Chain A
């Protein structure tokens, strides 16, 4: 049953779940202290955020909400200093994810998993400067963090690494979604929240 119009309650829900999502993302961000983890960051986010996202999807029946969530997360990323690329990826991934969910009429589980897979890719937007502006980015990192760190990071940043990262993120998103579903079944359905 998909409703046609967005109402205020939907918008408030988007806000709440974006806030939870973003807080988990910040928690995952602290892992960036370890060099390898700053590249694996989207995977950790996908794993962690499955639970709130699946709960969010059970409350979503209208087209547009997932897109709004993507844009909001992008805005938050901009406000907390992770660059403006993630607004674009947030919009794109959100819109795609929204279309997938719409195809499943917002109740098919398979579509929801696919939707979360696509949605999770938006996080890579905050890392895109590494690929797009490779030279200047690593010159800056080398200045900021020292040559050793820059080299250990640069050796990881290649074209196939980006593809691999996207695939791994999608896999992590599937695991995250099933984790979310298990938690949902165990706790939220029983408590009458989902």
Chain B
């Protein structure tokens, strides 16, 4: 079985409740995709986009944090000032890129932070606290656990296939077959092992389970939650 990468270390006292992280992700999502912001709305949107930056920095990922900040600001500036002048195919490409930078990047970073800093057990515990049905919680936890694994596996398969000279230049069907089939083979195998492990840990027991992770809201949860809620409300009022 692929060893699970150790979760990202967060600073002491910065341990957020999984529910807070999900809430932040949702709010960022709603605001960023709501409309085309202008004026003060940009500030509110920026205040939300600053959350993933702060979280990355608090986890000691200074470099990634700053790269994200630069990308976001560049995308926002490009969208506000440059796209009005751009026309034709280049304008289109530029708009798309600016869009990607200031819309998808904050969400992707937030989702990345959520996945990388949340233990699967902690996630399950938090969701059970919210009385979400286990039929949704368990598959969702598996998806969480699997996104990094799939990316890692496909990277390894990619390397192997490149070594064999099977690239984009061959037929697309062959490419699909040579990438997808080994990927699904290994994923199916990892999945079987994962379910064996889950059964050993008693995931199939019905009734209340105890959990080693204490989930609960702390000061940081309250601060970030209030900050994000305020920014979202301002965004829609302004």
Q: Give chain A's interface residues, CB within 8 Å of chain B.
A: 6-9, 11-16, 18-20, 22-23, 33, 35, 48, 51-52, 55, 64, 68-69, 71-72, 75-76, 78-81, 83, 140, 143-146, 148-149, 179, 183, 187-188, 191, 193
Pick from A23, A79, A149, A183: contact of B111, CB under 8 Å: A79
Question: B214 on the interface (CB 8 Å rule)?
Answer: no
Contact between A13 and B33 (Cβ–Cβ < 8 Å)?
no
User: With a CB–CB cut-off of 8 A, which chain B residues contact A13?
Assistant: 191, 195
Closest 5 CB pairs of A and B: A15-B142, A15-B139, A19-B146, A143-B36, A11-B138
The answer to whether B177 touches A183 (Cβ under 8 A) is yes
Whether a CB of chain A sits under 8 angstroms from the CB of B226 is no
Bound Cα distance A21, B95 (Å): 28
Within 8 Å of chain A (Cβ to Cβ): is B180?
yes
B228 CB–A CB distance under 8 Å: no
Q: How distant is B133 from chain A, measured CB to nearest CB, in Å?
A: 10
| 12 pairs, CB–CB < 8 Å, chain A vs chain B | A8-B195, A8-B199, A12-B195, A16-B191, A20-B183, A55-B188, A64-B135, A68-B136, A80-B107, A80-B108, A146-B91, A188-B185
Q: Determine if B43 is an interface residue (Cβ-Cβ < 8 Å).
A: no
Please classify the interface of chain A as helix (H, G, I), strand (E, B), loop, or mixed, using the class held by over half of its residues.
helix
**Does B187 sit at the interface, judged by CB under 8 A?**
yes
The answer to whether the Cβ of B141 comes within 8 Å of any Cβ in the partner chain is yes
- Residues of B at under 8 Å CB distance from A? 25-26, 29, 32-33, 35-36, 83, 86-88, 91-93, 95-96, 99, 103-104, 107-108, 111, 134-136, 138-143, 145-147, 150-151, 154, 173, 176-177, 180-181, 183-185, 187-189, 191, 194-195, 198-199, 203-204
Q: Write the chain A residue with the least CB distance to B191.
A: A16
Please indicate the chain A residues that have their CB under 8 angstroms from the CB of B135 in the complex. 6, 11, 64, 68
Known: A12-B142, A71-B136. A145 touches B184 (CB 8 A): no
Task: For the complex, give the distance between the alpha carbons of A188 and B182 in Å.
Answer: 10
